[in-house]
Amino acid sequence: MSRIKEFPLPDLGEGLVEGEILKWLVAVGDTIELNQPIVEVETAKAAVEIPAKWAGKVHAIHQAEGTTVEVGTPIISIDTDPDAGEPPAEPERTPVLVGYGPRTAAASRRPRKANGSTAAVSPPPVEVAPAPPPPPPVEEAPAPPARALAKPPVRKLARDLGVDLAGLTGTGPQGSITRDDVQAAVSAPAAAPAFSSEREQRIPVKGVRKLTAENMVSSAFSAPHVTEFLTIDMTRSIKALDRLRTLPEWRDVRISPLLVVAKAVLLAIGRHPIVNSTWAGDEIVVKQYVNLGIAAATDRGLIVPNIKDAGRLSLRELADAMTELVQTAKSGRTSPADMSGGTFTITNVGIFGVDTGTPILPPGESAILALGMVKEAPWVHKGKIRVRQVTTLGLSFDHRVIDGEQGSKFLRDVGAFLTDPEATLLAWS
């Protein structure tokens, strides 16, 4: 058994067929341990670190950083017995006929027969004189530009007005440039800006961005989207979050409006389970668990990792899970498993300073909620106009699965909880 083992790019799941080598974490000659991370690869889902399948010494690296590699292609060779000395070199192979196997001996010419004899006849050697090197190319000096024809007073006027005489066409005798030519250049309209490829940036569409684009196009044109909007007063929710921050057990916890929105969604799904379902062609699959997706903008594009079985978590556990999810996504370490199996998604567009949006459904999901910016705005409260914390929710849903009534009641319940979380929680318990 060979001690030099080739390690192919493994199947990372979720139907991924290729990955881009982002960064090698080892070099040729390094001693590595079993399961030690050796390379960082970006797939269409996320950037992941791949561990070594064997311990040993890095014998060769076959794929450079920045290369896109198909699953199953060797990316690195590992010497699994480096203490045995230098590994034997592979024999040089020569071309052979198909079906006759490889040859390791040097190729030779069959001897010719001369006058019926079997003696080999070798032609006398012919000495060929080496061809003389080509002469070095002769560089031609560039021709000096012709000097514009103009009298000294005209040149002075052009300098004072900042006009380049070389760009003017003279109307004077023998094509000379006149004062009128200079004045006309000053009063002429500015030239149109030049639009060329040098002023364009080309961004390769690959990895996460490529998969996101494919999924969004597929979803937008396969599921009939409906979007509804609801503007609500979130003042009580914001005050409830402020009270949470004062509790000792919540002192180091990241708290944001997204947390209370997530709780509202989970409770409303319990009241309207059809929202948490999948269209399967000849049937609708209603999920009894909620894998809550949180859309996250990263340097590599938009990804939607999800919190598994989020409906079973306490509010504190939900806060911790959301914090870990966002930090992992920002660092580019989200695994493909964390982005699969989502059942409902929240996208917080409010952090970008916008009111709301019409989000596109992630593949396999039937609803997605957009949370707009929470801001101070005039609001009628107890019969008077007050300054309150107001936001707008946008719910997109698959109309094959969710009727308008069902979608509207779900959005209404989310809004009711955010308007008065304490009273609503008591009423729904």
Q: Which helix (H) or strand (E) holds 417?
A: helix 404-419
Taking a C-beta distance cutoff of 8 angstroms, is the pair 273, 267 a contact? no
Q: Can you tell me the distance from the alpha carbon of 338 to that of 303, in angstroms, rounded to the nearest whole number?
A: 10
Q: Can you tell me the distance from the alpha carbon of 411 to that of 392, in angstroms, rounded to the nearest whole number?
A: 11
399 catalytic residue (yes or no): yes
Q: How far is CA 126 from CA 107, 122, 132, 275, 390, in A?
A: 21, 12, 18, 87, 95
Q: Which residues pair with 348 in a beta bridge?
A: 371
DSSP 174: G
Q: 209 by DSSP, 3-state: which?
A: helix
Three-class SS string for 83-123?
A: HHCCCCCCCCCECCCCCCCCECCCCCCCCCCECCECCCCCC
Name the one residue in this structure whose structure tokens are 């139907």. 15
Cβ atoms within 10 Å, residue 76: 25
Q: How far is CA 113 from CA 107, 109, 117, 206, 214, in A?
A: 19, 12, 6, 63, 68
Q: Which residues pair with 278 in a beta bridge?
A: 285
What's the chain's Rg over C-alpha atoms? Answer: 36
Taking a C-beta distance cutoff of 8 angstroms, is the pair 12, 75 a contact? no
Q: 268 by DSSP, 3-state: which?
A: helix
Name the one residue in this structure whose structure tokens are 């490889």. 102
β-strands 68-70, 18-24 pairing: antiparallel
Contacts of 150 (CB under 8 A, 6+ apart): 158, 165, 170, 176, 177, 178
Set 59, 272, 381, 399: catalytic member: 399
Tell me which residues are annotated as active site.
399
